[in-house]
Amino acid sequence: MKILYICTHNRCRSILSEAITNHHAQGIIEARSAGSQPAGEVHPLSLQYLQETGYAVDGLQSQSWDEFEDFAPDLVVTVCDSAAGETCPLWFGKSTKVHWGLADPSKLQGSDEQKKQAFLDCIEQIKTRVQALVEIARSQPDQKTLIEQLANLGAQ
């Protein structure tokens, strides 16, 4: 299964999701991330907290969803509220689409410790969803069941 995580700026939540998915779903799911209006760089705290929690950051980059026409994802997951309402390019038409809203830890105004906790909470939430996603992918459900299960994950 191939997944494309989308967030408007592709600098935090979608990047976290890509790294965490590729770590936990090696061989079962191939994840990438993109944005409709990419920032051009990954948020430094995204990289810092991924590394501190044991995830690889090599190759992570903020990029446009236009770069993924040839990727042909089976699943497109929007992870921020602004991306949920955006029109996906036509070539996403065959992809299953779900929304997994996540709070943006990079926008938190607070102490360094509060920011760290926000990133760690987001990473843990993604990890929990990805571990369930791996089990769903292994069971190879029909399209309707897949969409229901993925939507339920996004509500957690």
Q: How confident is the model at residue 42 (pLDDT cuts 50, 70, 90)?
A: very high
Tell me the per-residue pLDDT of 105-149, one tens digit each, with 9 for 90 and over. 999 899 999 999 999 999 999 999 999 999 888 888 787 887 788
Angle between the N-to-C axes of helices 13-24 and 44-52, in degrees from 0 to 180, rounded to the nearest 10? 30
pLDDT score of 26:
82
pLDDT value at residue 146:
79
Q: How many Å apart are CA 122 and CA 12, to the nearest integer?
A: 10
Cα–Cα dist 98/4, whole Å: 11
Number of domains the chain contains: 1
Q: Is 39 exposed, middle or buried (0-12, 13-18, 19+ CB in 10 A)?
A: middle
Q: Given 3-state DSSP classes, what are the helix, strand and coil percentages for the chain, each rounded to the nearest 5?
A: 50, 15, 40
Averaged confidence pLDDT in the chain: 88
Q: What is the mean pLDDT of residues 16-31?
A: 94
Q: Find the domain containing 101 and state its range.
A: 2-154
Q: H/E/C letters for each residue in 74-112?
A: CEEEECCHHHHCCCCCHHHCCCEEEECCCCCHHHCCCCH
Q: Beta 30-34 vs 96-99: how paired, if at all?
A: unpaired
Dihedral sign, CA of 60, 66, 69, 73? Answer: positive
Half-sphere exposure of 103 (CA within 13 A, CB side): 14
Question: Which pLDDT does position 55 carry in this prediction?
Answer: 97
CATH number of the domain enclosing 27: 3.40.50.2300
| Higher local confidence (pLDDT), 99 or 42 | 42
What pLDDT shows up at residue 86? 53
**C-alpha–C-alpha distance, residues 101 and 30, integer Å:** 20
Q: Which residues, 6 or more positions from 16, have their beta carbon under 8 angstroms from its beta carbon? A: 46, 50, 122, 123, 126
